[in-house]
A and B are shown apart, each in its own frame.
Chain A
């Protein structure tokens, strides 16, 4: 059972917005995570290094925040998916985000913020499909 955390979730969202805006301010790039990662795997000249720094910041930032907020680390719960299912899900996510051109951050945050019809349509689509998957599995609390 997860507690309702509107305050912390809003604050976290603002930090995500700030992070994305900082990258936009620095080099004009839209920092959607799947695009940042995907374009490291097939880099354009001069376009890889900032992405590597960004990803390093994501990994280090997780370590740092979990260290500062031990309760948030203790709350991590992967019980609904074992290693095999996670591997399958990762494959779908890797394929889907690079075919569809975005994930939760690129389409959901940046796309919607910038009035993108594609971003809105993609967000509605992945939210609906993910909701249906969870509904079909019926695993939460079960």
Chain B
């Protein structure tokens, strides 16, 4: 039952993607097309709204000792460092995002449209994730030894891939 509350998170997230315009690939491409003469800067405001609200709520939530149900709160600040793996992955993601105008959240939010483009994208995205996780491992190597318990590791030490 406690897990089912994350369904509400998903609902809110999807509503945000649709209302903001992020779920529309052409609007994303128009946002990325800074030099194209018809630049639509709207989606910069998504980042403003999301970062502003999450930064504030992150501070408030850290007044608690621990989450409501289980696990531990990650650090108030993230210490994800810059590495070749991070930058290489980000560049590859940017290549796919620029070609499609779709990042992983909108791909899922757009599933109900039943468009073949969405399923083509999602299918290969899942394949790519499986390959990357098999070849490169779940997380970039971190200096301190990771705790044995994967759940605690995810929450406590904030490996880069848990911020994805």
Seen from chain A, the residues whose Cβ lies within 8 Å of a Cβ on chain B are 1-39, 41-42, 44-47, 49-66, 69, 72-73, 75-119, 121-123, 125-135, 137-141
Seen from chain B, the residues whose Cβ lies within 8 Å of a Cβ on chain A are 2-27, 29-30, 32-38, 40-55, 57-58, 61, 64, 66-83, 85-105, 107-113, 115-118, 120-133, 136, 138-140, 150-151, 154-155, 158-164
From residue B22, how far is it (CB to closest CB) to chain A in Å? Answer: 7
Closest 7 CB pairs of A and B: A57-B10, A100-B89, A94-B128, A12-B20, A13-B49, A61-B14, A133-B98
Which residue of chain B is the closest to A94 with respect to CB atoms?
B128
CA gap between A119 and B93 in the complex, in Å:
13
5 contacts between A and B (CB under 8 A): A28-B74, A29-B74, A62-B110, A78-B115, A113-B55
Which residue of chain B is the closest to A110 with respect to CB atoms?
B163
Residue contact A102 to B160, C-beta cutoff 8 Å: yes
Residue contact B19 to A103, C-beta cutoff 8 Å: no
Residue contact B124 to A94, C-beta cutoff 8 Å: yes
The dominant DSSP class at the A interface is helix
Residue contact A101 to B54, C-beta cutoff 8 Å: no
CA gap between A108 and B93 in the complex, in Å:
12
Interface residue from A13, A29, A90, A92 paired with B107 (Cβ < 8 Å): A90
Cβ contacts under 8 Å, B47 to chain A: 13, 108-109, 112
